[in-house]
Amino acid sequence: MNCVAFIGLGNMGAGMAARQGLAGRRVKAFDLSSAAMERAKLAGLETCESAGAAVSGADVVVTMLPAGPHVRRVYEEHVLPHASPSALLVDCSTIDVDTARAVAGMASEAGFRFADAPVSGGTAAAEAGTLAFMVGCSEEAFPDVEAALSPMARVVIRAGEHGAGQAAKICNNMLLGVSMIGVCEAFALAERLGLAPDRFFEIASKSSGQCWSLTAYAPWPGVGPQTPADRNYEGGFASAMMLKDLKLAQEAAARSGAATPLAGQAAAIYALFDRLGYGGRDFSAILQLLRGDLDGLQS
């Protein structure tokens, strides 16, 4: 586990790769974005000229990419052709279950051990090394996967075989998308009813409305702990990413016959927000759409 290749150094990957470095591991990093590579260099990571060069000779290969097509391409073109036969391959991106299983199949056919290991916790947890990982892999591979992820993790839970990590992640984020809109609607109504947002936060966070979207990620600026709301909804978990996850959930629900009507509404609301041009803002910015006050988001 001494040498970790890390591909994808964006909002999440930057902090995660840095945690591997802080644990004393050699980190060979690569991202298509030169700005991300500059940040990685400043964090003391070894930047490589290509994904293949990063992967070559590494004991563990971690990918943290936007979506399924990116993961498939990086695996086909760089990871599988260049990784050492003994390398452990771990994809931490949030992608659809079918692609996760297809990539696992390609990796297994080529003789590699593979895990889908998406994360929960956001950028603050990525930087602090306190992410929750939900893992799809064989029972035999799990101890090594856990050891590989430990510098970045608060908890690592095996969900089942390949694809099960992504299934758990999609269900979790569907719940998150719905609960964040619920919290935002409650703040918007509280405002209309003349309640001070900080009073409402204090009461609801100690009452039955309490949930993570409220207490750990309050969407109202200046209320609760520091969140993306306090920096004009920059950084954090982009609304476009939440829309991606809700679409994955809708597709999975359609295929499996599960009833998910509230998640369908949530997907439509995030799609509208995205179409209005706010896909790059944190997903808690949906509060400003519901308040009918998008002006503050313009700058």
CA 57 to CA 172: how far, in whole Å?
A: 35
* Contact between 64 and ligand NAD per CB under 6 A: yes
C-alpha atoms less than 13 angstroms from C-alpha of 240 in its C-beta half-sphere: 12
Answer for the pair 130, 98: CB distance below 8 angstroms, yes or no: no
**Strand, coil or helix: what is 5?**
strand
Residue 41 annotated as catalytic: no
Cβ of residue 130: shortest distance to ligand NAD, in angstroms? Answer: 13
Q: Please count the other Cβ atoms lying within 10 Å of the Cβ belonging to residue 185.
A: 14
CA 171 to CA 245: how far, in whole Å?
A: 9
Contacts of ligand NAD in 82-111 (CB under 6 A): 93-94
Task: Kindly name the residue from 169, 206, 244, 247 that is annotated as catalytic.
Answer: 169
- Residues paired with residue 131 on neighbouring β-strands, in sequence order: 153
- Supply the DSSP symbol for 263: H
Q: Pick one of 1, 22, 46, 66: the residue that binds ligand NAD (CB under 6 A).
A: 66
* Contact between 237 and ligand NAD per CB under 6 A: yes
Size of the site for ligand NAD (CB under 6 A): 26
- Residues paired with residue 63 on neighbouring β-strands, in sequence order: 7, 91
| Residue carrying the six token digits 């918007």 | 188
Q: Pick one of 4, 5, 6, 8: the residue that binds ligand NAD (CB under 6 A).
A: 8
End-to-end distance of the chain based on CA atoms, in angstroms? 44
Which residue lies nearest ligand NAD, judged by its C-beta? 10
Q: Pick one of 51, 97, 190, 248: the residue that binds ligand NAD (CB under 6 A).
A: 51
* Contact between 62 and ligand NAD per CB under 6 A: no
Query: Contact letters (x/-) for ligand NAD, 118-137, by CB under 6 A?
Result: -x--xx--------------
> Using CB under 6 A as the criterion, which residues of the chain lie in contact with ligand NAD when the complex forms?
7-13, 30-33, 36, 51, 64-66, 70, 74, 93-94, 119, 122-123, 236-237, 241
